[in-house]
Structure 1
Amino acid sequence: MIKRNIFKNIGPLDHRYSLRDEFKDYSTYLSEEAKVKYQATVELALVKALAKRGICSQEVATQVEKAVKEITPEEVYKEERKTKHNIRALVNCIQHKVSEEAKPYIHFTTTSFDIVDTANSLRYKEATEELILPTLKELEKLLMEIALREKETVQVGRTHGQHAVPITFGFAIAEYVSRLGNTIQDIEESSKQLKGKIAGAVGAYNASHLFFDQPESFEADVLAELDLEASTHSTQIVEPEYITNFVHYLTSCFGVIANFSDDMRHLQRSEIGEVGEYFDEDQVGSSTMPHKRNPINYENVKSMWKEFMPRMMTVYQDQISEHQRDLTNSASSRFIPEIIVGLLSSVNRLIRVGEKLVVDHDNMKKNFAQNKELVVAEPLYILLASYGHPDAHEVVRKLTLEAEETGQTLRKLVQTKEELKPYWEQFNQKQRELLVNPEKYIGISVDKTEKIVKSWSNKLDIELTG
């Protein structure tokens, strides 16, 4: 067993972001040890299918199953130093642990990437089911709870960085409930589409056809042991679009949480101060300014996204393989687990931060109050137009300029303009109330928030407390 001080590792995922307990869960599916384990599991599935067809005995399958349980990455890597071939090294290590009778049936009729691609599909599929989806749904549930809690908290809307018409903070969070929910569904569906292959060196079943009249049926038997289906067409590799689509949706999900983090980061600006990260008693925000409380967690998520999002370009490039296969994806595809770990690390960070999210309701009211009187420009213009004013937008635009110059409110100015009084008199009580109380001009923010949360709670089978 190789033991290494984590601070001698090169990759920051392994020394900076591996110090939390959840990293042990990542390694179950995404480590080099896991990769070897899953490849050995595919070799075992092959022998089990052979035994079921009477090509080898059940005793052979039992021996191989025992050997596979004993395989370690250390011995495989040691063997690879001799073979200069990772799958041949794995096969040799399994063969070293079984009888002479069993040895011929290990890796029988297969090529290396029957094992590699099938093992990757299997581990990414299981990682999705057991790790990725539960973690994402935990964040989704947290966002749902925040959205419902703050569904009536009035917040000024912002477009282009400028104050717009009001919404509620819960409505703002509901945006991310929906966007994250969509990507969760996409990840789940694309993971179910991950395929395997037992089709041989060029995908034409040349070797297996020597023994089976219907080699595709044999392939299906092997993959059924792993709860996988075969790629529609294979060369030496599985069609790359399955894994490309899967990683694409992971990357898209990363973009959603990066956008959320960016929004939360900006809302923590000193001049805005509408939300805040909980700071521990001994936490330091700046090495030189003791008063600072930097939004480090949200900034970290965006920083991680900046690192891993561009790697999607490499995955797209790995779609290209000359003729029946070249080796140009053999190194680059090994980094896909890092994309998954980067995403999960960021999602877990947001869960920890979100559980202690501080909403400053006073600052939200103060920020809204800055331009609350100008907010009525939109409903005023629309109401004037609805009652027949021929140029309502231009009239209200000029009124806003006058309001800014004189300090008068729009609703007061409207009532002083003789040409506008007839329109004002036609407004009903509800319409006038919106102009007097701009904080009520939030549309269906509350209802929409509830609707979004309920919909995604049902779609994703997330049970909310309270």
Structure 2
Amino acid sequence: MKLEELTAISPVDGRYRNKTSNYATYFSEFALIHYRVRVEIEYFIALAEIPLPQLTQITEENKKSLRGIYENFSLEDAQSIKETEKVTNHDVKSVEYFIKEKMTALGLENVLEFVHFGLTSQDVNNTAIPLSLKEAFEQELFPEFDKVFEVLKALAEQWDAHSMLAFTHGQPASPTKLGKEIAVFAYRLQQQIKTAAAIPYSAKFGGATGNFNAHQLAYPEYNWIEFGNKFVNEGLGLDRALFTTQIENYDFLAAWFDLLKRMNNILVDLSRDIWQYISLGYFKQKIKAGEVGSSAMPHKVNPIDFENAEGNLGIANAILEHLAAKLPVSRLQRDLTDSTVLRNIGVPVAHISIALQSLLKGLGKLELNENKLAEDLEANWAVVAEAIQTVLRREGYPKPYEALKALTRKNEKITQQSIHAFIETLEISDELKASLKEVSPFNYTGVQPKL
């Protein structure tokens, strides 16, 4: 069966292809090959800039032509590399042969053996993959997180004045502001976005076992550690790990995945709370003409965007959990399990993107039901008991908590009238009684900072 959106096994490349296709630039097989070609060519140019004696002939025009190989890299180029791989049975070696063919066409056949000079495959993979991750995160994923943050921040400001019944353990609790409840999620997301700035995009570059063995033997007069640091840190914009085996240690890659898991969990929490608020009637959802909520019940408008977000975030976290736990563990210098696992990085990232798009859609459909907010506040005057007993504590009134407990746990509905009647029985000043009567579920909302 020919691979198309309708025949794809993964929904990332099938049902949701229109939402995730931009990530193919960073995480597809084509992308991996493209990034490998880029690293190999930039490495060759870096050798020419030392310069190695055999590469002094490389001109600025040569460098421009060489960079053109990856800047104009095509699907046909990638397919030719895959054809070579059928013969070599080695993906990185096939990239080396491709570059040599291109360089021959540029008249550089006398320096071909400095392509992939002294390297092992992981010097290329462990720079290509973090580079693709860095560019995907900076150019695609984190801007999507930023959009969610900005929408949450705007909604927090929009709903800042709306009092709302809070729930602790599923029971009515001290009132809050709807805007503040949304601000909680914006704040949590903001803190994790800030944390991201401290995590490096770590890369390995140091030869077969991380010690520049071949480089040092061939050219002992050069400082290869300094070269590697400059090439990776300045040339590629990554962070070179100084002590590695054949492969990158993947500790910071695991840190990225753990960070994404935390961000996802925050948004799972948001999705569930909004779902619950919709269920309580605090929000209505804008209806789009022609849409169907249920195949059987015509009245339904399901909170599908928040359910979709929660489901995709869960799938992403399951994969991220495996990536974070598996990658830092490898037998001795290296086993090959990291190779197949690393090819799946784009899958959880794509699921996160699907979730973020669903969240943005869902948040955009919310309409506040002010009447329901007011109705629930009016129906739960018992929540001001905390306010009254706290003031009585301040005044030195005997056993105020117990007095309010006795009132509010009667098998009768607590109303404004019953609260005010209780206040009248207290042996306190008329001024204090009047002050306590000013407290209501609508204004007992505390103070909240601004985002």
Per-residue deviation, 1:442: 0.6
Aligned positions of 1:203-352 closer than 5 A: 203-210=210-217, 211-212=219-220, 213-223=222-232, 224-269=234-279, 272-315=280-323, 316-352=325-361
Q: Could you list the per-position Cα deviations for residues 186-220 of structure 1 after superposition, in whole angstroms to 9, with x for gaps in the alignment? A: 23432xx0122320111111111122531111212
* Distance (whole Å) between structure 2 residues aligned to residue 281 and residue 268 of structure 1: 20
Aligned partner of 1:64 in structure 2 is 66
Please tell me whether residue 39 in structure 1 is matched to residue 36 in structure 2.
Answer: yes
Flag structure 1 segments of 5+ consecutive residues without an equivalent: 453-466
Contact 1:273 1:363 in 2 (8 A): yes
Bigger Cα displacement from structure 2, 135-144 vs 399-408: 399-408
Supply the distance in 2 between the matched residues of 1:340 and 1:366 (Cα, whole angstroms): 42
Structure 1 residues 133-144: aligned runs within 5 Å: 133-144=142-153
Query: Would you say the 8 A contact 1:376–1:410 is kept in 2?
Result: no
CA 402–353 in structure 1, closer or farther in 2 if over 3 Å, else same: closer
Gaps of 5+ in 2: none
C-alpha contact (below 8 Å) 2:81/2:98 kept by paired residues? yes
Q: How many residues align?
A: 435
SS at match of 1:14: coil
The DSSP-based 3-state class of the residue aligned with 1:152 is coil
Cα deviation for residue 112 of structure 1 reads: 0.5
Q: Secondary structure at the match of 1:227?
A: coil
Superposed displacement of residue 352, structure 1: 2.3
Alignment-mate amino acid for residue 247 of structure 1: F
2:160 and 2:6 mapped to 1: Cα distance? Answer: 45
Match of residue 155 from structure 2: 146
Tell me the equivalent position of 1:444: 447
TM-fit CA distance, 1:276: 3.0
Structure 2 CA distance for partners of 1:6 and 1:247, relative to 1, 3 Å: same
Counterpart of 1:64, as a letter, is L
Residue 428 (structure 1) shift:
6.8
Aligned-residue identity in percent: 26
**Are the counterparts in 1 of residues 163 and 178 from structure 2 also a CA contact under 8 Å?**
yes
Tell me, yes or no, if the aligned pair for 1:48 and 1:222 is still in contact at 8 Å: no
Equivalence for 2:83: 78
1:27 pairs with one of 17, 24, 28: 24
Deviation (angstroms), 1:410:
4.3
Checking the alignment, whether the CA contact within 8 Å between 2:382 and 2:415 is kept in structure 1 is: no
TM-score between the two structures when normalised by the length of structure 1 = 0.88
Contact 2:160–2:180 (Cα < 8 Å) also in 1? yes
Deviation at 1:117, TM superposition (A): 1.0
**Residues 1:441 and 1:407: Cα distance change in structure 2 (over 3 Å):** closer
Distance between the aligned counterparts of 2:84 and 2:50, measured in 1?
Answer: 31
Please state how far the C-alpha of 1:61 moved relative to its aligned partner.
4.2
C-alpha separation between the residues in 2 aligned to 1:400 and 1:251? Answer: 42
In 1, Cα distance between equivalents of 2:376 and 2:344: 45
**Corresponding position of 2:363:** 354
Q: Which amino acid aligns with 1:332?
A: V
Structure 1 residues 53 and 400: alpha-carbon distance in aligned structure 2, compared to 1, 3 A threshold: same
1:214–1:24: structure 2 CA closer, same or farther, 3 Å change rule? same
